[in-house]
Structure 1
């Protein structure tokens, strides 16, 4: 163990013992790598016990020697009390056999391949038409008479949010980059759009209005944009972002991503739910819910009621990097709308449990005329606050 690492571990322990959890809790400065450079499934994620911090270095070195694979990155996930190790198995002929051997090692708790996830959306570049039909369809303006989300913090796990955008500068409480190990990325399209749907500033006299315009956002960059695609994420980057959100006790986590089942991420999502955090995820673009929306307790957001809580997902206007706006579509956008409504709920009723929030949303899905069923923000607020507010669409 290096003296630098020992010093960091002692400093972290003393800080937590004397001050409790900081406003934004940090983990030790362990070895990191750019997440987009270790996203192949030839990289393996292992977890080991976090309790005996003094032995972590020896355990890590021992695993590296025993199995002949180099350590690429490591990071403590204090929220589930494990230390996460990423090993490079690119040169291993039979990765599955290696994983079977690793699972027999008493030092190792779990072993899995690095998984990839995609953000569930696509964008259009049509000329901006300043009409937020989604707010009208969900009776959001009427709901703002009771709540605007003030005091609720939402962790947006996504690509990088444009911190300088006029619709978001006031709402962004903090941003963290769990993709780039060296320097933070400035702005990306998908995360900026999701953040603005949730909480775009309603007081700046320009741009758009968010579903919960007075909610506060923490941008947690766990995904990156490449080759013209909306965004890609990995088990490692998503795990670190979720760990940060749990440690800092955000009220809501928005996960507008989807992919195959991932046991490490499931553990973290369940830890978030057990901590009383409301988790909203995009259900995907098919009839079956994708992971992590399929985890019991997670609020799945979709375009159709049969696949989750229905919310607008087609041609929704939102913010884009460079102080611009554009139309976006996909169940990612549905998730952003639902996260915004959850913030309205929690601001109005701080005592609501995750189960009660889910039930309230389900009860507030209404049909207007011949239109498809849709979540109604006004109906939700009216029910949970026992007010006599008039809702146009219900």
Structure 2
């Protein structure tokens, strides 16, 4: 599937004390939207501006001009409303929505630029304004994956390749909070019932979909229930998921989804405020200033951030996996088909991964999104044993756990049991044994109900 994150132009207003030159009052303003591209409805004429507001701790995420879902019962501060209105007037912009990013102490406003104004000229004007800290162009992010139609193609090969069963004798991720920033999750799925501690939606209600395929698949890999006589087992079945919906599907029954900087920023802000211990970002793309600041804030707060990267060759340019201290994850290669050394990138199973899908179903998914979910699960096991571990320590443990495999069917990946045993002192990391009642013993008819 493809998750596309649309990033708006960013400007940070520090002190609102210098007036901007107003647009020519004789100029005809054309608000006609430009043609849509690829059915993704990019907002190429939108910009995002942030400014400091010490009162933003009591400002809601959206106001009445927005179609985005509002959180909280407080009103926007009069000061922020006045600044937002003045900016719209000064630059001939139309306000779309506004919300606080209180983890950074800023207030954000999204505007539309009339299509008959040059984006380049608007950028230059914003750059000259002494109130503006930074400006950036819209960018597109991609996460790639595939869905296999054969419902019985394979079972949970990733569990076996990573020796997760043996690791779960030592730790199960008990009470570790994992924030899944993605599409939503089917909270009624029988393998996810009781696994979700909190659910929040930051997506425009007009973009709602009855299916949340990608997020449900990621959630199942991380924390599907164990020993419930059905379905699959997650890497950390006793972890607690915080589901933060920041993406929405392009069309029903397809895993393609889109996100934008507004929804992603809100989800990151919420993950930080909720004191998540792990943030899973199964998405990738070019650099973005605001999102990068929020990821850095999470890391500074001791949150472990996991992000997918499309390949070992793309790790330097992929974002947010390229951010220092983020655990970058790629799909592991089969033994005998190894990639060149990619120091700092963690390989994990990402091909033909059996996982949860909406409406109590399961299917096989492929892509680095799901490799990242495997590693988020393993990190939850480690944090159960030592909640004070930092990103660099965890990265070292994950890389040290890897060892050459003699199996022709195996992949070069992290060994979850070896990583966990390095903290517990256990040496019981031999061939994993499937426990009685384990999901891997479930019948195919239970695993894969027909859709």
Q: Which bracket does the TM-score occupy, shorter chain normalised?
A: 0.7 to 0.9
Normalising by structure 2, we get a TM-score of 0.75
Long gaps (5+) in structure 1: 1-35
Aligned twin of 2:228: 204
Matches within 5 A, 1:188-267: 188-227=212-251, 228-267=254-293
Kindly indicate whether the alpha-carbon contact (under 8 Å) linking 2:312 and 2:330 is maintained by their aligned counterparts in 1: no
What displacement does 1:112 show? 2.9
Separation (CA, whole Å) in 1 of partners of 2:255 and 2:137:
23
What displacement does 1:182 show? 6.9
Q: Is 1:51 matched with 2:54?
A: yes
What displacement does 1:108 show? 3.4
Structure 1 residues 368 and 210: CA distance shift in structure 2, 3 A: same
Kindly indicate whether the alpha-carbon contact (under 8 Å) linking 1:285 and 1:330 is maintained by their aligned counterparts in 2: no
Aligned twin of 2:58: none
2:381 is aligned, of 344, 348, 366, to 344
Long gaps (5+) in structure 2: 1-38, 56-76, 333-338, 433-451
Find the structure with the greater CA-based Rg.
Answer: 2
Q: How many pairs align?
A: 358
What displacement does 1:66 show? 0.5
Higher mean displacement: 370-379 or 80-89: 370-379
Separation (CA, whole Å) in 2 of partners of 1:94 and 1:298:
37
Kindly indicate whether the alpha-carbon contact (under 8 Å) linking 1:45 and 1:112 is maintained by their aligned counterparts in 2: no
Matches within 5 A, 1:1-394: 39-51=42-54, 54-129=78-153, 131-181=155-205, 185-227=209-251, 228-285=254-311, 287-289=313-315, 290-304=318-332, 306-307=341-342, 308-369=345-406, 371-392=410-431
Structure 1 residues 243 and 130: CA distance shift in structure 2, 3 A: same
What do you get for the CA RMSD once the two structures are aligned? 2.1
Separation (CA, whole Å) in 1 of partners of 2:154 and 2:228:
15
Separation (CA, whole Å) in 1 of partners of 2:196 and 2:153:
25
Q: Secondary structure at the match of 2:284?
A: strand
Q: Secondary structure at the match of 2:110?
A: strand
Q: Secondary structure at the match of 1:300?
A: strand
Structure number with higher helix proportion:
1
Kindly indicate whether the alpha-carbon contact (under 8 Å) linking 1:199 and 1:209 is maintained by their aligned counterparts in 2: yes
Aligned twin of 1:26: none
Normalising by structure 1, we get a TM-score of 0.86
